[in-house]
A and B are shown apart, each in its own frame.
Chain A
Amino acid sequence: MQQAIIELEGLSKHYGSLKAVDNLNLRIAPGEIYGLLGPNGAGKTTTILMMLGLTEPTAGTATVCGINATTHPIAVKRKVGYMPDSLGFYDSMTALDNLVYVARLSGIPEGQVHHQSRQMMELVGLAAAMDKKTATYSRGMKQRLGLAEVLIRQPEVIVLDEPTLGIDPTGVKDFLTLIRQLSRQQGITVLLSSHHLHQVQQVCDRVGIFVGGKLLADGDVTSLWRNLSPGENTVVNIQLADPASVDPAIPAALKDLEGVQAVSLTEEGMELSCSANITPAIVRRAVQLGLEVMGVQQKAYGLEDIYHRYFENNVNLHKTDGKSTGLFQRTFFRKQKA
């Protein structure tokens, strides 16, 4: 990988005996859109706070733009725009005043502050409401104001904590499109955390799955799946015209095919899991066996499946053997890193 713009090494944060973030290693390249994915309480926000120097790590280092975020938070904050998950504004001030205040604090020259703020308000679509007090703003409007605040500083890195929370679907789509566009055209690195899987899947180049303070895996969606279950790469669904009247001998016959590991009957037909992609051979065999094939589908795995799989693994291991959990995750994690 080229020079990383965000580099976390052995980052840990403990609250008493609770390990909110546990020995996290992560590198994000410039211009990348990285999705931090995990359930509530997985330590996403804590990780982000440590990257901005708003929380001190118990161990490890967070380096952003080549600067240690714990010891030099100000230098990092000059380059990073951060939008927290719970956005609060000064309710007694108008939206424009809120933006102007932050713009001044972030060091925008006095002569330009008002001009730029107004322009930014127009461009996030708040021109009509910019002289209203923020107390009257809806969640979506606050979110847009928050984005204006992040963008007005012209950051190199944008960190968004649950950016799509509370916005309607159209708004989410526009928001994500905008973020992707900015990243692509200006080479801005984006780190966003979310538990909305499909949204993350839409925009992110890479995702990291984050459960219980540990990064279980990171990579793009395809490689994640490949790493997760090397034994059952391909699942083929065969839709049949009359699934109810399938000869019991047929699944066994299909299983004799080389590469097929398991065959199961489903409501619509059959599901075969294979060690390699042998769909043509399966179809040929099925037709030979006299099955009335309506359709054949090679199952494509989405982030949601991956996520659930990781999460399940984690939970199962906790249940069966508490001690082996850490070991499993650690070895798995090393594999990811390599």
Chain B
Amino acid sequence: MENPLVYFNGLFSGSKKHNRFLSLLFNRAEVTTEARQRPPLAVMVRKEIADHIRSWRFLILLLLILLTYAGSMYISLSNVKAAVANENDPDRLFLYLKLLTISDGSLPTFHIFISFLGALLGISLGFDAINAEQNAGTLTRLLAQPVYRDTLLLAKFLGAFTIVSTLFLSLALLMIGGGLFVTGVKIEGSEFIRIMAFVVVTVLYVGFWLALSILFSVLFKQATTSALTVIGIWLFFTIFYRIVVSMIVKAFFPDPVYLSESEVVSYQQLLLDFLRLAPSQLYTDATTTLLMPSVRSLGPLTMEQMAGAIPSPLSVRESLLIVWPQVTGLVAATAVCCALTYYCFMRKEIRT
């Protein structure tokens, strides 16, 4: 480092350099003739993406997801022959969907894995979005620039969202390419649409956790507190929620022996509705329907409804109609998180 004596040398001496300095500073006309400006949102999103890509945290999660992907692909590729030959399975001809959904029991399938890891990915990309900047003192500087506060929030969300979408899209395309390469079977249009819809649902699901963790990064000053809180919520929904719901059901629901069939169905429906308050349930429902074309309902079906039904795969449009409420639910939950974040952040006092 140079001598502190030369900090501002040449600035005050009235030299040529000094004049250039002032003309650079204050000759506005000279500046405005130049080209366009970049919108602040684009600048921020760019920086966020660059930050994430260079961070160790993201690399580790990427590695985890790639491992999961490779593991489940290996298992499904080695079992795909048997699955396709299974005459009783109406979905047996959807080779590429099979690749994503079959397992020999030694590993969960890819979409089940993602319902855990995706949440973790979303949390890890967002839990320190705002409070880390606040603690580092960069938030004050950033907001002293002429940018809206919501631009910052949006940039935080979109930056991570872009990364997640790119990641899952590439994984899906890799999987299709790998399948083509290994089996040589042509992919059906409907399969492709289903897989893309799966990618969209996955990204939305990760987006929900991302929005939730950004909300907590605004609420809590310490990054560790916000991380622990979101992880706590995640654990609650993945592990305890099911137990809590079944406990309540046992305590309050009447014994099914004394009920008529329609009452049992309506109670069953209610139970499912409670379970669907958990985002991971919504995700699993949606992906199962998308990846297994023969799934025709996510609730209980009565015998009358089943009567005359041929066990055949549904069309893409019908599967999409079935998952529409789930997708809407995920989007709504994300929107609620975002709205709360805005509400908390817009009037927050910014100081370190």
Contacts and interface: CB of A to CB of B under 8 A. Distances in A.
A90 B135 CA distance: 11
**Chain A interface category by residue count:** 35 or more
B25 A186 contact: yes
Interface string A133-162: 000001011001010010101100000000
A128 B6 CA distance: 12
A178 B38 contact: no
A321 interface: no
Contacts of A75: 146
Interface in B21-42: 21-22, 24-26, 28, 31-32, 34-38, 40
A74 B352 contact: no
A22 to B, nearest CB: 17
B27 to A, nearest CB: 9
A102 B145 CA distance: 7
A106 B54 CA distance: 25
Interface in B319-352: 347, 349-352
A202 interface: no
A86 B35 contact: no
A55 B139 CA distance: 13
A77 interface: yes
A125 B31 contact: no
Interface stretch (A23-31, A108-116, A222-230, A271-279): A108-116
A107 to B, nearest CB: 5
B148 interface: yes
**Chain B interface category by residue count:** 35 or more
- Interface of A (DSSP majority class): helix
B26 A186 contact: yes
Contacts of A138: 1
Contacts of B133: 88
A74 B143 CA distance: 9
Nearest to A84: B140
B37 A170 contact: no
Contacts of B32: 109
A89 interface: yes
Interface of B: 1-2, 4-9, 11-12, 17, 21-22, 24-26, 28, 31-32, 34-38, 40, 43-44, 47, 51, 54-55, 133, 136-148, 347, 349-352
7 contacts: A49-B349, A92-B51, A92-B54, A105-B147, A107-B146, A112-B31, A171-B7
